[in-house]
């Protein structure tokens, strides 16, 4: 007899709507009626915005049955019914369908290596079918991990056409998430809109401080005692997208700009991997240019 994997029966539901009494009970009852077993549930209410958010991770044995497609349709219909009643925005993610991730990088390899190592060790559960760069320099990294490497040289004159080609490749590869692992190009508003809330960038400062280029040098010029990194969703507004994760490290008057760059790499790796993992585990709700991270 075939043994059922947990991946086959588990799913995650993210919902948001105007706050009102009875939402938690209604969602729990809907899943119970469907035959699902709630494994983990977390919720948040923003009283100022009057918004309710909930993440529910649950098990539905019917998803591993002979009629998985039918079970999926019944589950979606159940959720659609409760969502319609309470005017909910909702997303349903099945654990058996790992997120497909494209990594973008330029010449700096520390974030790229870190994500690939975490993926290989099983810490980041996803598929990585390709890496995109605007330089050839990191091809040996991709070759080492056996991942196809695509180079799209970018100039101001070719940027629009290059992005069209990149989007075509991403769509052809069914990419769900783009991760800018120190990809030193500014993505256009059209690109960000096409993958809204699906492009994660790592910025090497504690935003909103020191946005834009050379943030470590900006920080050195201000004599700050902390430097940090920020992972956020990329939007049309440079370095102003919804923040997912941040961290800082202490620095001193004796640190040079080069010291800040060197020391900052560690915090960049940690923050980016934390944000990517939160996205892969469907723990992020975006609203009003900010996030709830369960």
Q: Could you tell me the residue ranges of all domains in the chain?
A: 6-94, 100-293
Categorize the per-residue pLDDT at 213 as very low, low, confident or very high, splitting at 50, 70 and 90. Answer: confident
Please name the helix (run of DSSP H) or strand (run of DSSP E) that holds residue 223, with its range, or none: none
What are 72-123's pLDDT values in tens digits? 999 999 999 999 999 999 999 999 999 999 999 999 999 999 999 999 999 9
Catalytically annotated residue among 60, 114, 176, 239: 239
What are 150-167's pLDDT values in tens digits? 999 999 999 999 999 999
Residue 1 has pLDDT above 50, yes or no: no
Q: Which fold has domain 100-293?
A: Rossmann fold (3.40.50)
Closest CA to 108 of 146, 144, 140, 138: 138
Which pLDDT score, from 0 to 100, does residue 6 have?
73
Which CATH code fits 6-94?
Answer: 3.30.70.260
User: Is 105 exposed, middle or buried (CB count within 10 Å of its CB: 0-12, 13-18, 19+)?
Assistant: buried
239 is known as an active-site residue: yes
Categorize the per-residue pLDDT at 4 as very low, low, confident or very high, splitting at 50, 70 and 90. Answer: low
Residue 2 has pLDDT above 50, yes or no: no
Q: Please, what is the angle between helix 257-280 and helix 215-222, to 10°? A: 130
d(CA 90, CA 54) in angstroms, rounded, equals 10
d(CA 282, CA 294) in angstroms, rounded, equals 9
C-alpha pair distances (Å), 91 with each of 14, 138, 198: 5, 35, 14
Please name the helix (run of DSSP H) or strand (run of DSSP E) that holds residue 71, with its range, or none: helix 68-86
Which pLDDT score, from 0 to 100, does residue 147 have?
98
Categorize the per-residue pLDDT at 179 as very low, low, confident or very high, splitting at 50, 70 and 90. Answer: very high
Q: Two tokens at 212?
A: 């834009």
- Which residues face 226 on adjacent strands? 250
């Amino acid at each position: 007899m075939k043994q059922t994997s947990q991946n086959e029966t588990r799913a995650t539901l993210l919902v948001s709507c105007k706050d009102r009494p009875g939402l938690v009970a209604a969602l729990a009852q809907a899943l119970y009626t469907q035959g699902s077993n709630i494994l983990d549930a977390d919720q948040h209410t923003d009283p100022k915005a009057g918004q309710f958010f909930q993440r529910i991770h649950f098990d539905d044995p019917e998803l591993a049955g002979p009629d998985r497609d039918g079970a999926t349709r019944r589950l979606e219909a159940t959720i659609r019914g409760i969502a319609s009643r309470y005017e909910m925005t909702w997303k349903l993610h099945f654990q058996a369908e790992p997120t497909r991730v494209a990594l973008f990088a330029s010449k700096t390899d520390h974030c790229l290596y870190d994500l690939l190592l975490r993926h290989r060790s099983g810490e980041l559960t996803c598929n990585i079918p390709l890496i995109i760069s605007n330089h050839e320099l990191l091809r040996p990294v991709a070759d080492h991990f056996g991942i196809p490497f695509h180079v799209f040289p970018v100039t101001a004159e070719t940027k629009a056409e290059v992005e069209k080609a990149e989007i075509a490749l991403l769509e052809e590869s069914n990419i769900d998430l783009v991760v800018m692992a120190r990809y030193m190009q500014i993505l256009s508003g059209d690109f960000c809109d096409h993958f809204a809330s699906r492009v994660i960038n790592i910025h090497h400062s504690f935003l909103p401080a020191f946005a834009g280029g050379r943030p470590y040098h900006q920080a050195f010029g201000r004599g700050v005692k902390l430097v940090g990194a920020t992972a956020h969703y990329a939007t049309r507004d440079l370095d102003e997208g919804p923040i997912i994760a941040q961290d800082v490290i202490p620095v001193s008057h004796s640190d040079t700009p080069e010291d800040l760059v060197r020391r900052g790499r560690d915090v960049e790796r940690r923050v980016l991997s934390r944000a990517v993992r939160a996205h892969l585990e469907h723990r992020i709700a975006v609203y009003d240019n900010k996030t709830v991270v369960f």
